[in-house]
Amino acid sequence: MPKWLDDAVFYEIYPQSFLDTNGDGIGDFQGIIEKLDYIKDLGCNALWINPCFDSPFKDAGYDVRDYKKTAERYGTNDDLKRLFAEAHRKQIHVLLDLVPGHTSEEHEWFIKSKNPEPNEYWNRYIWTNSWFSWDMEGLKFIAGETERNGSYIVNFFKCQPALNYGFLQPRTPWQLPVTHPDSIATREALKDIIRFWLDRGCDGFRVDMADSLVKFDDEKKTGTSAVWSNIREMLDKEYPEAAIVSEWSNPPLALKAGFHMDFLLDHEGKGYHTLMRDYKVGAAGTPVDDKSFFKKDAKGDICLFLENYLPWYESTKGDGYISLITGNHDTARLGATLSPDELAIAYATLWTLPGVPFLYYGDEIAMRYLFLPTKEGGFTRTGSRTPMQWTNGKNKGFSNAAPEKLYLPVDPAPGAPTVETQEKDSSSLLNTVKAILKLRHGEPDLQAQPNLEILYAEKGKVPFIYRRGSFVIAVNPSTDAVSAPVKGAGTPVFTIGTGTLDNGECRLNAQSFGIWKV
Ligand code: NOJ
């Protein structure tokens, strides 16, 4: 396990929208380099950059055309190497985004694979043995598109043919077993990409749809897990400091398979989802019937989160870390439904639970979700991918380009949050974020290690109280003053709102959060 994860706090950057330094209306590597000090000052010491490789961008870069070449719009491979070096000088680690399950239909491998004449890449993707065969439960086929006599499987959009890691239980001859040399060749090609970027200075990868590799892999994901265990073995041997985090959202499976971290994702009705996004989307796309735990008047229930989280936490102790996110490029911005005050309590909670947290760019100032037409396959996700709001000047400091040339419009609201405004206000969300993360970096008890003990969590009730080593932490997102029994007394080290811990009782006023040393 790379030691640096003990105290890592990640910042996710959607490179299109972070900072444009050459005036073409889209973010670039140089923009990230220029903001490394900002990121460090915020309290983040690691980055995850969304795919920045050559791509036709039909899915914002998750359709990779060349894994070993950066997209021109962000800069060259050398610029990215410079980014790694600059980040390392500031003790910031950098993860790239690895898309192992599919490529763009424009990838050289696929162009060769769709050729009617058999060749080295014929089995790099999953093809049926006849143009007329395109139906099988759980798989998505594209038929009639190529001259090869067969249909192929996609993982996500039509433009993303699935790479072939084989089938755990092949049902027909065109389904190769996982032990077939061509299934193994795909895995080895993936290792080659991993080595390529690690050799150039990256520190690991966020892994897209990590559970999608082997097909008919059923609930236990035995086949896919074996691929990752094999890759982890290689990493442990050749790059022991490299880290991988999975988009899987099943920590027991993902961490046993070899990932160092696994994200909890916003899956409706399940644990993490109930914390901040437990609402329905109404007719105009606006959220209704919000029951989220951190919504002050929603009377949400922390047990809905804990029922899912705790068994996963308990069963993965020592295997790796659960990663709680503020959001990501696929989820609705929290600023859509939660006020900065509600967000401060939410972030303070997420970042004082065990594991390795991830902060999505712009969430530190509560950027809003914007209702926009789709861009690069974003659809409803587009509104969470708008340019970072740095200043109160032109294009909110994102770019010098004419506003109509921007990748996406900046938030036009007169009072739209910006870094410039919030830096000047000591009580802003931005400054609260800095204070929480500073505290976390100074106290190993509050970092990734699995030292969680739940002290008070009752169905439908607040506060929520837990212990991390020598700290007691209490959370009250509601508009009521509340209390609960907690043994002993403590010295306050951090508070949002007001509260006390003494005489065997913890009291928190409305919308308050506290950390006490005990
Ligand atoms: C998950 C990524 O987060 C998402 O943005 C992408 O569209 C799909 N995987 C397909 O790669």
Q: Ligand 1 in contact with 59 (CB < 6 A)?
A: yes
Nearest CA to ligand 1 atom 6: 62
CA of residue 375 to ligand 1 center, whole Å: 14
- Is residue 426 in a domain? yes
Asked if residue 396 and residue 440 are part of one domain, the reply reads yes
**How far apart (Å, rounded) are the C-alpha atoms in residues 439 and 55?**
40
In a domain, 512, yes or no: yes
Q: For residue 331, report the distance from its CA to the centre of ligand 1, in Å.
A: 11
Asked if residue 467 and residue 359 are part of one domain, the reply reads no
156 lines ligand 1 (CB under 6 A): yes
3-class secondary-structure state, position 112: helix
- CA angle 489-490-491, nearest 5°? 145
Residues 441, 310 contacting (CB under 8 angstroms): no
Q: Give the residue, by CA position, lying nearest to ligand 1 atom 2.
A: 208
- Please indicate, yes or no, if residue 484 is contained in any of the structural domains: yes
Whether residue 468 contacts residue 493, with contact meaning beta carbons closer than 8 Å, is answered with no
275 and 398 inside one domain? yes
Q: What CATH number has the domain bearing residue 81?
A: 3.20.20.80
DSSP-based three-state secondary structure for 218: coil
Range of the domain at 131: 102-164
The distance from CA 143 to its chain's CA centroid, rounded to whole angstroms, is 33
Task: Provide the domain count of the chain.
Answer: 3
Is any atom of ligand 1 closer than 6 Å to the C-beta of 208? yes
Centroid of ligand 1 to alpha carbon of 157 (angstroms)? 9
184 belongs to a structural domain: no
Q: How many angstroms is it from 156 CA to the middle of ligand 1?
A: 8
The tokens describing 392, both together, are 């109160």
Q: Do residues 427 and 279 share a domain?
A: yes
The per-residue pLDDT for 135 is 85
Query: Over 493-513, what HEC string results?
Result: EEEECCEEEECCEEEECCCEE
Between CA 14 and CA 330 the distance in angstroms is 11
C-beta 330 within 6 A of ligand 1: yes
Cα of 83 vs centre of ligand 1, distance in Å, is: 24
With the most atoms of ligand 1 within 8 angstroms of its CB, the residue from 209, 211, 245, 247 to mutate is 209
**Ligand 1, atom 5: closest residue by C-alpha:** 330
Please check whether residue 218 lies inside any domain of the structure.
no
Q: Residue 493 C-alpha to ligand 1 middle, in angstroms?
A: 40
Report residue 95 as tokens: 């993860």
12, 62, 96, best to mutate for ligand 1 pocket (most atoms within 8 Å of CB): 62
User: Tokens 């500073």 sit at which residue?
Assistant: 438
322 has which bridge partners?
262
Ligand 1 mean position to 52 CA, how many Å? 13
Whether residue 179 lies inside any domain: the answer is: no
- Choose one of 67, 325, 330, 331 to mutate for the ligand 1 pocket test, by most ligand atoms within 8 angstroms of C-beta: 330
Do 88 and 41 belong to one domain? yes
Task: Write the CATH number for 131.
Answer: 3.90.400.10
Residue 209 beta carbon below 6 angstroms from any ligand 1 atom: yes
285 with 433, same domain?
yes
State how beta strands 452-456 and 287-288 pair.
unpaired
What separation in Å is there between the alpha carbon of 325 and the centre of ligand 1?
A: 16
Q: What is the pLDDT of residue 115?
A: 98
Residue nearest to atom 11 of ligand 1 (CA): 62
Q: What is the pLDDT along the chain (518 residues), one digit of tens a residue?
A: 999 999 999 999 999 999 999 999 999 999 999 999 999 999 999 999 999 999 999 999 999 999 999 999 999 999 999 999 999 999 999 999 999 999 999 999 999 999 999 999 999 999 999 999 988 888 999 999 999 999 999 999 999 999 999 999 999 999 999 999 999 999 999 999 999 999 999 999 999 999 999 999 999 999 999 999 999 999 999 999 999 999 999 999 999 999 999 999 998 877 999 999 999 988 877 889 999 999 999 889 999 999 999 999 999 999 999 999 999 999 999 998 999 999 999 999 999 999 999 999 999 999 999 999 999 999 999 999 999 999 999 999 999 999 999 999 999 999 999 999 999 999 999 999 999 999 999 999 999 999 999 999 999 999 999 999 999 999 999 999 999 999 988 999 999 999 999 999 999 999 999 999 99
Residue 424 phi, psi dihedral angles, 5° rounding: -80, -10
Give me the DSSP letters along 368-407.
PP------TT-GGGGGGSPPP---SSGGGGS-SS-GGGSS
62 pocket-lining for ligand 1 (C-beta < 6 Å):
yes
Residue 162 CA to residue 154 CA, distance in Å, equals: 5
Residue-level pLDDT at 307: 97
Q: What atom of ligand 1 comes closest to residue 101's alpha carbon?
A: 11
CA 265 to mean position of chain CA atoms? 8
- What's residue 285's pLDDT? 78
The answer to whether position 212 is within a domain reads no
Query: In CATH, what number is assigned to the domain containing residue 501?
Result: 2.60.40.1180
Regarding whether 436 and 344 lie in a shared domain, the answer is: yes
Last-in-domain residue among 425, 444, 463 = 444
Considering the domain architecture, whether residues 466 and 416 belong to the same structural domain is answered as no
Q: Is residue 185 part of a domain?
A: no
Residues 111, 90 share a domain:
no
Q: From the CA of 170, how far away is ligand 1's center (Å)?
A: 26
> What is the distance between the alpha carbons of residues 264 and 356, in angstroms, rounded to a whole number?
11
Sequence letter at residue 126: I
User: Separation of 280 CA from ligand 1 center, angstroms?
Assistant: 22
Considering 444, 462, 483, which residue would you say is the last residue of a domain? 444
As beta bridge partners, residue 325 has: 358
Please identify, by atom number, the ligand 1 atom nearest to the C-alpha of residue 62: 11
Residues 395, 467, single domain; the answer is no
Q: Are residues 40 and 112 in the same domain?
A: no
| Dist. CA 421 → ligand 1 center (Å) | 33
Single out the residue in 164, 181, 209 at which a domain terminates: 164
* Same domain flag for 13 and 69: yes
Residue-level pLDDT at 260: 98
